[in-house]
Amino acid sequence: MTNHKILLVDDDPNVLEMLLSIFRRAGYTNLQTAASGAEALRIWQKEQPSLIVLDVMMPEMDGFSVLKEIRRTSRIPVLMLTARGEAEDRIEGLEIGADDYLAKPFLPKELLLRVGAILGRAYPNQNEVVQLAGATVDMANAEVLKNGEKQTLTAKEMQLFEKLYRNAGRIVTTGVLCETICGEFWQGYESTLSTHIRHLRKKIEENPSKPVSLVTVKGLGYRLNLKEVSP
Amino acid sequence: MNSVQRFFRRYIFSTVGIVILFLTVNIALCFAILITGSMSGTDASFSVRDFSDHVVLRDEKWTADNTALSMLQEQSAWAMLLDEDGNVVWQQNLPENLPRSYTSAEVASFSRWYLEDYPVKIWTRADGRLMVVGYQPGTLVKYYFSLEWPYMGVMLGGIALVFSINLLLIVFLILRNTRKVEKAMTPILQGIQDLSRGSLHRLDEHGELGEISAGLNRAADYMRKKDDTRAEWIRGVSHDIRTPLSVVLGYASELEDDCGLPPDARKQAGIIRRESEKMKRLIDDLNLTTKLEYALRPVRFKEVDWAETSRQAVSEVLNSGLDRRYEIVFAEMQPGRSVHLLGDHELLQRMLDNLIRNSITHNPQGCRIAVSVGEKNGRCLCTVSDNGVEIAPEQLKALNRGDNIASTQDSDEKLEHGLGLKLVVQIVKAHHGTISFSGSTPHGLEVRISLPTQPLIS
């Protein structure tokens, strides 16, 4: 259950209906819809949502124009949806200031994952606690609670953990993780990454030599497995 | 030298050859005419010298024998013999109106010209007398030719000079004309070649051949318009399909995850979801392959980490939820070594993604897919192999020949459309690389790709 207010904008009522269904099922309760660019701007000004899912191709006022208008005064997170799937569109969208970009058709999981990642970055949850098999991580304080013992994560470990957490259940490649801690020119930092991962495992794994939460995917990278919550 | 230049070079050589042939034939003909003329002339008659030998002084009296008389008779000619003083000492058939005595001036005159319209030939005998043979008027032409040597020299030199100048002028004019034709024709011929390759830069429509250039421009416009229409159509169709497909994919996925539904319904929703994903891939492939084919999407060459790009492509496939029947093994040929190439990150990722998915699609029973990447002799290598179904040798041959890949797929509707592999080949070509298909051991398909680290980007 999340209280973030999401504004969904698409001129196709079927798509809007489906988006509503996806977000509702994922636990989002505060949802608004708009069927045109002008309506989206009106609702945005009135309701001040936490995030906008914005379709690019709409009659009269397209998504890019809406985003430009919004970006004149606001940094509200925006995820663009497009039916064109052109790389140029994506570049244009990101240049104008979109936070992410998703081409239609998309899997609901992918949309939710991206929306979750944007929200997590834009509104760090003060009480966000990540449940792992052998520990819990307090994201706001960068603290790990394992066997009743508290340990603090270093800045680099926290950066790594956050990247893995935002992509939980998915493989994050060595290059992407190195880039997260070292920036664009990350080549040659693979051993540094291994060191940070080893330290992180010591803090979050019950048995660091046999990791179950932060697992290595041979040759590719790492994956963070969250604790499975029984329904 | 291209074919157009070769054509004009050959044209010049052949024209010069024609001129040389023309001159040779003309000289040969002149000689032939001269020889024929000399052989067919009336001089077949007799020589005055021979005739003179048949006129002798016998018993103080000049007489001609029968041979001499028959010679004269044949030609209706007359003859006279003059002594040192110019008096006629013997004559035969001498016309009455002709004098019987001649001064030295008269002898000098008729020896060069005519004697009262009678063309004459003379012969100075050994005894100092002059034999004169006269022919009927109109049977011989006499022309006296006399030139001073310096003038003759100038004239002969002049003739040679005029001949040489003419020859040079002909060659110059041939070359000039050929050059002009070449200048006018080269863009048109080049345009035809470009058109056959599917591209044409606009030709100048001025000049004598402007109409042909305009025709080519129209043909190029027509081709471009057709290409644009086709690309636009595909883009439009793909756009129009994407939105409804989003709804299908979204709801199917929702239903598949809905624990409140009976298992059969969830299974069916899963099938709809998977088929919708296939359609999504088809649209993406169709769109990208069209764009690459019609150069609507530029290849963005940037420094790319080859191993990391491959890792991301493999991870994407695994992250998208791979069925348990499949296993993907990723390996680096030189672990830990950083390999870079100039390439389009997005396209290269797509290439690997398509190769892996090709193995998945063609092996519904499941298989193990091995992806290995590395570098050798300045080239980035990649091998994607599976231990799935064996591929027919004819199909392998067709793939390696570069036949239309979409048509190499058999008509089994379970199989993919073939666009995925076509796209792989297009991407490899765009990176100036090579691709080869072979069977893997003990069975399955192996695809090897080799890309230059620094492709020559045009």
pLDDT tens digits for A173-221? 999 999 888 877 777 788 888 899 999 999 999 888 999 999 999 989 9
Q: Determine the pLDDT at residue B416.
A: 47
Amino acid letter, B361: T
> Distance (Å) from the C-alpha of residue B394 to the closest C-alpha of chain A?
35
Cα dihedral A71/A73/A78/A80 (nearest 10): -30
- Select the residue of A25, A104, A190 nearest B242 (Cβ to Cβ): A104
Q: CA of A22: which chain B residue's CA is closest?
A: B254
Mark yes or no for CB contact A108/B332 under 8 Å: no
* pLDDT in the model for residue A113: 87
Closest-CA residue of B relative to A191 is B336
- pLDDT at residue A229 greater than cutoff 80: no
Taking only residues 243 to 282 of chain B, the set having a beta carbon closer than 8 angstroms to any beta carbon of chain A reads 243-251, 253-254, 257, 259, 273, 276-277, 280
Residues of B in contact with A218 (CB under 8 A): 330
β-bridge partners, B384 = B371, B447
3-state SS string for B314-342: HHHHHHCCCCCCEEEEEEECCCCCCCEEE
Between residues A17 and A186, the one the model is more confident about: A17
Between the CA of residue A189 and those of A175, B170, B185, what are the distances in Å? Answer: 9, 77, 61
User: Are residues B380 and B339 in contact, defined by beta-carbon separation less than 8 angstroms?
Assistant: yes
Q: Residue A83: which of B242, B297, B314 has the nearest Cβ?
A: B242
Rounded mean pLDDT for each run of 10 residues along chain B, 458 residues in total: 75 85 91 84 69 88 89 89 91 90 90 88 90 88 80 90 90 86 84 80 81 87 84 78 89 90 92 88 83 77 90 91 89 85 90 92 90 90 90 83 59 56 90 89 89 76
Measured between its terminal Cα atoms, the distance across chain A in Å is 14
- Contact at 8 Å (CB) between B450 and B381? yes
Query: What's the average model confidence in pLDDT over A75-97?
Result: 81
Q: Using CB atoms within 10 Å of the CB of residue B32, give its burial: 0 to 12 exposed, 13 to 18 middle, 19+ buried.
A: exposed
Question: Could you tell me the two tokens for A72?
Answer: 């004149």
CA nearest B346 in A: which residue?
A87
| Mean pLDDT, residues A70-87 | 86
User: Is B48-134 assigned to CATH 3.30.450?
Assistant: yes
Residue A223: predicted pLDDT: 94
**pLDDT for position B196:** 82
Taking the Cβ of residue A168 and every Cβ of chain B, the question of whether any pair is shorter than 8 Å is answered with: no
Comparing alpha-carbon positions, the chain B residue that sits nearest to A57 is: B239
Testing the interface with B: which of A107, A115, A167 to mutate, by most B Cβ within 10 A? Answer: A107
All residues of chain B having their beta carbon less than 8 Å from the beta carbon of residue A219 are: 311, 329-332
Q: What is d(CA B71, CA B68) in angstroms, rounded to the nearest whole number?
A: 5
Read off φ and ψ for residue A94, nearest 5 degrees.
-70, -35
Our measurement of the distance from residue A28's CA atom to the centroid of its chain's CA atoms, rounded to an integer in Å, reads 15
pLDDT for res A126: 61
pLDDT of the residue at B458: 53
**By mean pLDDT, which of A17-21, A63-67, B293-297, B367-371 is the weakest?**
B293-297
Residues ≥6 apart with Cβ < 8 Å to A75 = none
Q: Per the CB < 8 Å rule, is B305 touching A187?
A: yes
Going by DSSP bridges, is the β-strand pair A149-152/A143-146 parallel, antiparallel, or unpaired?
Answer: antiparallel
Q: Do B311 and A108 touch (CB under 8 A)?
A: no
Q: At which residue do the structure tokens 């990101």 appear?
A: A94
In B386-445, alpha helices (H): 393-401, 405-408, 419-430
Tell me the CATH number for domain B299-452: 3.30.565.10
CB atoms A170 and B248 under 8 Å: no
Give A109's contacts in chain B (Cβ within 8 Å): 253
Tell me the nearest-neighbour CA distance from B407 into chain A, angstroms.
Answer: 27
- List helix spans (H) across B257-384: 263-293, 306-319, 345-362
Measured between beta carbons, which residues in chain B are less than 8 angstroms from residue A105? Answer: 242, 245-246, 248-250, 276, 280
Contacts of A82 (CB under 8 A, 6+ apart): A55, A56, A57, A63, A89, A90, A93, A101, A102, A103, A104
A-contacting residues of B 328-367, CB under 8 Å? 329-332, 336, 338, 346
Of B243, B330, B338, the CB nearest to A15: B243
Chain B contacts of A83, Cβ < 8 Å?
A: 239-240, 242-243, 246
Q: Which residues 14-73 of A are in CB contact (within 8 Å) with B?
A: 14-15, 18-19, 21-22, 25, 57
Number of Cβ atoms within 10 Å of the Cβ of B232: 12
- Determine the Cα–Cα distance for residues B385 and B306; give it in Å rounded to an integer: 18
Report how far residue B198's alpha carbon sits from residue B247's, in angstroms, rounded to the nearest whole number: 39
pLDDT at B408: 45
Is the Cβ pair A18, B251 closer than 8 Å?
yes
Residues 65-124 of B with CB under 8 A from A: none
Q: For A36-53, how does the pLDDT look when each residue is reduced to its tens digit (9 = 90+)? A: 999 999 999 999 999 999
The ipTM of this complex is 0.79
Per-residue pLDDT, A45? 93
Q: Is the separation of the CB atoms in B409 and B420 below 8 Å? A: no
CA of B349 to nearest chain A CA: how many angstroms apart? 13
Q: What angle do CA B293, A100, B309 make, to 5 degrees?
A: 55
Q: Do B311 and A173 touch (CB under 8 A)?
A: yes
Chain A residue with Cα closest to B347 = A87
Instruction: Report the residue from A14, A108, A175 with minimal CB separation from B311.
Output: A175
Signed CA dihedral, B418, B419, B423, B429: sign only: positive
